[in-house]
A and B are shown apart, each in its own frame.
Chain A
Amino acid sequence: MTRFGIHLNKLDKQVDSASTLAELVKQGQVRAVARLITLLERGEQEGHDALRLLEVDAPRAAIIGVTGYPGAGKSTVVDQLVAAYRRLGHKVGVLAVDMTSPLTGGALLGDRIRMQRHTLDQGVYIRSLATRGHHGGLAAVTGEAVSVLEAAGYDVIFIETVGVGQGELDIATVAPAVVAIVAPGLGDEVQAMKAGLLEVAHVIVVNKGDHPEADRTLRELKEWHRSVLKVTAMTGQGIPELIAAIAEQQRLHDLEGAPTRAAP
């Protein structure tokens, strides 16, 4: 494969400078993109220097946040959205955040298991990030990683948060379009969502749409939110409608020049 043309491990030893790294990122070299995110994660000066060089002419990507309760199907929805945006001809980046154990400092990063079919697609970059003690549902490096992907030419960027409850809402500050995924049969949790997910999400997705409780959950949520959709991520049912809803939110965002409120 010539894609990685220049050998970065040689670069490490020889001309490991911020400007070289920035240049390779701009060319879309995957290894350089991955290394720069690592340097930023570690808080290394070289990473910040390279990032500063990139931000000068960073293009504007569509940034889509995907959040929701654990097990609701966030990664599977992202997998389907990646496939759809690829069909539309976009270069897609995914930042998938998982929790670091506060006890051991370790993390099991498994979101990409649901996205394996994109691993060989050169137009898709998937990076797993651990929270490393950062609260709010994201890794501290998330915003910087988005900038790196933008500079590398990814024009649609997904940020998948950790499985959230009510308090992990940082996604609202980095993504102008936030999709919250919930599973059918929420019951009283709808009440809890009123202060939390429902406030920050622009689109609510009731996933597992083939579940007997799906329609009831859909109805309940529609009383509280203007944009609620039913999706079956396993089959892809409802994904085109979800893309239309995301596009509508992006249009509103562009018109207003600021994130829109999600209230009905």
Chain B
Amino acid sequence: MTVATAPLRILIGKVGLDGHDRGVKLIARALRDAGMEVIYTGLHQSPEQIVNTAIQEDVDAIGLSVLSGAHNTLFRRVLELLRAQGADDIVVFGGGIIPNEDVPALKGAGVKALFGPGTPLDDIVRFVKELPRSR
């Protein structure tokens, strides 16, 4: 298998306390069906768990779902931990209930993309597929 055909590896999970995983499971399935290897972590992950998992699994990107309102804290913590471990080449994107006014600051902090409710699955799949393959 050559570099060009190696499947992307994507971590999909939920950080924080909310237990609504229907959306995140849909995303996981859509990415799998688009030919990617999806490491699904399930609910209630801490940023530390997400980052350790991402490093152990050597993923290309992390997609997080947050519906609890704690997105500002959680995304920033994930980015911070990735930087601390020299793993900030791993792309972070997300979705969930994230108010428009919070989006620019999160993107400024390093979140590559945020997908709100009603985003077509194809848009998310296309975004992940088109991520630059730096490694």
- Those of B114-135 within 8 Å (CB) of chain A: 134-135
The majority secondary structure among interface residues of chain A is mixed
CA distance A116 to B11 in the complex (A): 14
* A119 within 8 A of partner (CB): yes
Identify which of B2, B7, B40, B84 contacts A113 (C-beta below 8 A).
Answer: B40
* A14 within 8 A of partner (CB): no
A-B contact pairs, 17 of them (CB 8 A): A3-B85, A31-B55, A34-B58, A35-B58, A38-B9, A38-B58, A43-B2, A100-B37, A104-B34, A108-B28, A108-B32, A110-B39, A112-B53, A119-B48, A128-B39, A128-B57, A132-B7
The majority secondary structure among interface residues of chain B is mixed
Q: Which residues of A contact B85 (CB under 8 A)?
A: 1, 3-4, 31
Kindly supply a per-residue 1/0 record for chain B positions 22-39, scoring 1 wherever the CB is within 8 Å of any chain A CB and 0 otherwise: 000000110111111111
CA distance A12 to B38 in the complex (A): 24
Identify which of A7, A107, A112, A125 contacts B41 (C-beta below 8 A).
Answer: A112
CA distance A1 to B56 in the complex (A): 15
Contact check, B86 vs A106: say whether CB atoms are below 8 A apart.
Answer: no
* A8 within 8 A of partner (CB): yes
Kindly supply a per-residue 1/0 record for chain A positions 73-117, scoring 1 wherever the CB is within 8 Å of any chain B CB and 0 otherwise: 000000000000000000000000000110011111110110010
* A42 within 8 A of partner (CB): yes
Contact check, A12 vs B89: say whether CB atoms are below 8 A apart.
Answer: yes
A residues lining the B interface (CB < 8 Å) = 1, 3-4, 6-10, 12, 30-31, 34-35, 37-38, 41-44, 100-101, 104-110, 112-113, 116, 119-120, 125-128, 130, 132
Identify which of B1, B38, B134 contacts A132 (C-beta below 8 A).
Answer: B1
Q: Which residues of A contact B49 (CB under 8 A)?
A: 116, 119-120
* B88 within 8 A of partner (CB): yes
Contact check, B135 vs A12: say whether CB atoms are below 8 A apart.
Answer: yes
Known: A37-B58, A104-B32. A109 touches B45 (CB 8 A): no
Identify which of B6, B32, B88 contacts A106 (C-beta below 8 A).
Answer: B32
- Those of B77-110 within 8 Å (CB) of chain A: 84-89
Q: Which residues of B contact A105 (CB under 8 A)?
A: 7, 35
* B52 within 8 A of partner (CB): yes
